[in-house]
Amino acid sequence: MNIKASRKRFKPLPYILIFPTAVFVALFTAWPVILSIYQSFFLQRMNIARFREPTFIGWGNYIDLFSDPYFIQVIKNTLLYIIGTVPISIVLGFLFALLVNRKVRGIGFFRLAVFHPMVLPMVSAATIWLFLFTPDYGLFNAALRFLGYSGPENWTGNPSLALLSVVIVAVWKNSGYYMVFYLAGLQNLPSDVYEAAALDGANGWQTLWKITFPLLRRTTIFITIVAFIDSFRTVDHIFVLTSGGPSRASTVLLFDLWLERFEYQDIGISAAITVVFVIVLLAFTVTNFITSERKEV
């Protein structure tokens, strides 16, 4: 019997099977992008009667956006947030994985201790940290005072510390998650390389930096992508801890998008921010794709 021929008879079937998925992707991923591009060329504000009907203004929204010092501040905050969370969480994840990957009694408790924040909702994690950050009797300040710190104590309410407090919560929550990927990578490493290294008299540090870390390069790339995208799409803790303040010191891109659309009811500007957002994400994905392709050759 000809198997190829019998498969060929099912011609329309694959399209029917993919149809449900494609419809939802079209409706909630493709269409919103198109709609945003369109709306970003119109002035439309739902909370001002005479601007409720859309008026075409060309690039107006984009010009407004990039000439607004407030939006520049938002971009700066977003970059600072990414720089503050992504590298540190990845390094901690790697360190945790090295520590967990040992045959020691009680290591299960260590794994549980560093991984459990991952399972908490971000809003719960943030509420817990709001409690820790409490100025007078919060544990966080108590610990810092113990270490000799005597600076400002109102972390979430201080313009120069608010963003840092948001970063701390994200690092605490995510490091254990990245650990899991490194742990999987470590456990799949070929043991003969290590035996050879041991025979050559390589010490612990040499093995770590010359063998383990390079062998885990693909894992590191993967975790970097995950961490980067996550740093863009999670703002739950900002709602709980700082509401983007004080004086917008902890407002990042997605939080700003929420503000413009749902607080200021500005359809045009929020559409323009959405377009900028999508371009950044796509640019990141394409760059990643190109660089990883190049390395495969």
Partner 1 sequence: MDSSAIRKTLGQIGHWITNFLSIFLALLWSVPVIWSIIASFRPANDAMSRGDVWFSNTLTFENYTRAWSLAPFGQYYINTILVVLLVLAVQLITIVLAGFAFANYEFFGKGWIFFFVLLQMMIPTSALLAPNFSTIRILGIFDTRLAIAIPYFGSAFGTFLMRQAFMSVPHDLVDAGVIDGCSWWQLILHVYLPPSIPSLIAFGLSSATWHWNEFLWPLIITNSDKSRTLTAGLVRFTQLGEIGAQWSLLTAATLMVAAPLFITFLIFQRRFIQSFVHSGLK
x/- mask, partner 1, residues 216-255, rule CB under 8 A, reads: ------x---x--x--xxxxx--xx-------------x-
| Contacts to partner 1 from residues 263-292, by CB under 8 A | 267, 270-271, 274, 277-278, 281-282, 285
Helices vs. strands in the chain: H and E counts, helices first: 16, 2
Q: Which of 66, 70, 213, 262: binder of partner 1 (CB under 8 A)?
A: 262
Of 32 and 87, CB closest to partner 1: 32
Whose structure tokens read 């607004």?
Answer: 68
Of 40, 32, 72, nearest to 56 by C-alpha is 40
Q: Is 206 in the site for partner 1 (CB under 8 A)?
A: no
Q: Which helix (H) or strand (E) holds 55?
A: strand 55-56
**Interacting span for partner 1 (CB under 8 A) from 81-89, 132-140, 148-156, 157-165:** 132-140
Question: In whole angstroms, what is the distance from residue 210 CA to residue 81 CA?
Answer: 31
x/- mask, partner 1, residues 145-184, rule CB under 8 A, reads: ---------------------------x---xx--xx-xx
| Contacts to partner 1 from residues 68-127, by CB under 8 A | 95-96, 99, 102, 104, 107, 109-125, 127
Alpha helices in 101-216 (DSSP H): 107-115, 122-132, 139-146, 162-187, 191-199, 204-206, 213-215
Closest approach of Cβ 135 to partner 1, in Å?
10
Q: Which residues lie below 8 Å from residue 120, measured CB to CB, with a gap of 6+?
A: 128, 173
Per rule CB under 8 A, count of chain residues that contact partner 1: 93
Q: Is 22 in the site for partner 1 (CB under 8 A)?
A: yes
Q: Which of 30, 48, 79, 198: binder of partner 1 (CB under 8 A)?
A: 30
Of 122 and 249, CB closest to partner 1: 122
Question: In whole angstroms, what is the distance from residue 264 CA to residue 64 CA?
Answer: 15
Closest approach of Cβ 159 to partner 1, in Å?
21
Question: In whole angstroms, what is the distance from residue 223 CA to residue 231 CA?
Answer: 12
Question: In whole angstroms, what is the distance from residue 28 CA to residue 16 CA?
Answer: 19
Question: In whole angstroms, what is the distance from residue 208 CA to residue 13 CA?
Answer: 51
Q: Is 46 in the site for partner 1 (CB under 8 A)?
A: no
